[in-house]
Structure 1
Amino acid sequence: MATKDKYKMTFDYHTHTTFSHGKGSIEDNVKAAIAAGLTGLAITDHGPGHLTYGVKRSDFPVMRTEIDRLKPLYPQLSIYLGVEANIISSGNYLDVTKAEFSDFDFVLGGYHYGIPHGYCVGNWLDAHHLAPGFYGKKLLIKNTDMTIKALYENDLKILTHPGDKGRFDIAAIAKACAETGTLMEISTWHAHLTTEEIKISAKTEAEFIVSSDAHTPDRVGSFMGGVDRALEAGLDVSRIVNIEEI
């Protein structure tokens, strides 16, 4: 039986819109979520620290107003305003301040290129094999350290695509997620968590979430690739908070 015939996604808490570098409006994503049979949706555009496509801080209240407008029009769907904050190596280890957390229903955190104070140049060079053996061990330590500090310093709902775009100690990060109650994302857009990373993370008490990371409305509610990876890793699907067996 195909994954889509055996399982369903109940909510998708990682989607993007034109407020960062998505291709659809908030309402476009809402309509797509309803068409996909979801009961919950979060709009989580990229944090404001990204140099090319971060959401503008001045747009936070604009987005909130739009979501408040849409809620009574689509009562069958719970709509949340979030942000995918960027993990960095300074401050509170995110590009969203603790004071700004109150602007959102919840905050996601993830590592991306294009962020000052995030070892991006070193990670990019390492990933493209342009500095073999030079950055590896140091980056593993630095990347893991800032990620764990971001988890303990902030109340994050989801750690997005852990392991993507750098070297990370997934076992240590999974332990921190378990201790902080942060969901570990199995992305259907990125390759992480990989099957092997899921196996490592499953040895802790961490819980998981499958997300579409949709940058176009047609991908809202996408879950099959993430569930397939989880099943391949032997993860009990009951540990994925937004996936149900039909």
Structure 2
Amino acid sequence: MENKKYEMGYDLHTHTIFSHGKGTIEQNVRAALDRGLTHIAITDHGPGHLFYGMKRKDVPTMRKEIELLNKKYPRINVHLSVEANIIKTDNHLDIKPEEFSQYDFVIAGYHYGLTNCYCVHNWLYGHGLTVGEKQLKIKNTDMVIKALYENDIAILTHPGDKGPFDMLPIAEACADTDTLMEISTWHPHLTVEEIKIAAQTEAQFIISSDAHVPGRIGDFEGGLKRAKEAGLDLGRIVNLREMK
């Protein structure tokens, strides 16, 4: 099976100037149209990020623009979402339960740059400077699983990135909560080995560009390559379609 026989149907993880992307919402939409996508989601970083989180006050502005773009470009469906940040306190996300209704759906992942998420320990781990990996893995895994069960999360973004995580129980939780596991083309996660582990469960997958510039919208080839290498049934990737 060659890559050219497949295409991405939709891209549900993209960023704009409302967080630390380089393009406007409309530029992302136009790029998605150029790639032949049927849906695109604008998923700027959650407001808890200390350096490039979106501003809560901008959400109504984003919603209004997206409503106008859906009328302007009827060949594509544009969705307002947010890439919430997973943390260890409250509902384990940096957006509140009452804020979910502002979005068409919510995606979430672990990132540096926040408080209450073992950020320093994970950063040190990523740079080979930490001790206590076993306990950190337990804490990270527990934090992610609690976020999954306490919130309606559509996609778990780049699972395994930026720290040690136990992928099997995370994948089991994704299967149990109907949360898609992302195979990112921007981050190396899910890795080939992580895909193999997650595939042991009933979890479903999605390939995302995590584009921070319009030119990367619809990028899926790297994720498809890893999925094939892992031996994943490509029918489990919900936004992959075979070209006619």
After TM superposition, give the deviation of residue 2 of structure 1 in Å.
4.2
**How many pairs are equivalent?**
243
Provide the C-alpha distance between the structure 1 equivalents of 2:242 and 2:224, rounded to a whole number of angstroms. 11
Distance, in Å, in 1 between the alignment partners of 2:237 and 2:217 is 18
Instruction: Map residues 15-34 of structure 1 onto 2, 5 A cutoff.
Output: 15-34=14-33
> Could you tell me which residue of structure 2 aligns to residue 56 of structure 1?
55
Give me the whole-angstrom Cα distance separating, in 2, the residues matched to 1:119 and 1:61.
32
> 3-state DSSP class of the match of 1:106?
coil
1:1-246 equivalent positions in 2, closer than 5 A = 2-3=2-3, 5-131=4-130, 134-246=131-243
Q: CA deviation at 1:126?
A: 1.1
Q: Quote the Cα distance in structure 1 between the aligned partners of 2:12 and 2:117.
A: 24
- Cα pair 1:126 1:135 within 8 Å, conserved: no
Q: Flag as ranges the 4+ runs of structure 1 deviating above 4 A.
A: none
Partner SS, residue 42 of structure 1: strand
Which AA in structure 2 matches 1:202? A
TM-score between the two structures when normalised by the length of structure 2:
0.99
State the alpha-carbon separation in 2 of the partners of residues 135 and 113 from structure 1. 18
Gaps of 5+ in 1: none
Does the 8 A contact of 1:122 with 1:135 survive in 2? no
Under a length normalisation based on structure 1, what TM-score does the superposition of the two structures give? 0.98
Matches of 1:227 and 1:126, distance apart in 2:
28
SS at match of 1:14: strand
Q: Is the 8 A contact 1:161 1:190 kept in 2?
A: yes
Q: What are the Cα deviations for residues 73-132 of structure 1, in whole angstroms up to 9, with x where unaligned? A: 00000100000000000000000111000000000010000011000000011111112x
Percent identical among aligned pairs is 64
Secondary structure, aligned partner of 2:72: coil
| Aligned residue identity for 1:138 | Q
Paired residue secondary structure (1:79) = strand
SS at 2:106 equivalent:
strand
Q: For structure 2, which runs of at least 5 residues remain unmatched after alignment?
A: none
Letter in 2 for 1:213: D
Q: Counterparts of 2:164 and 2:125 in 1: how far apart (Å)? A: 9
Q: In structure 1, how many angstroms separate the alpha carbons of the residues matched to 2:142 and 2:237?
A: 26
Distance (Å, rounded) in 2 between the aligned partners of 1:199 and 1:6: 23
1:149-178 CA-to-partner distances (Å, cap 9, x unmatched) read: 000000000000000000000000000000
CA shift at 1:135, angstroms?
2.8
Query: What are the superposed Cα offsets for residues 162-221 of structure 1, whole Å, 9 maximum, x if unpaired?
Result: 000000000000000000000000000000000000000000000000000000000000
Inter-partner Cα distance in structure 1 for 2:123 and 2:22: 26
Superposed CA offset, 1:47-88 (max 9, x none): 000000000000111100110111110000010000000000
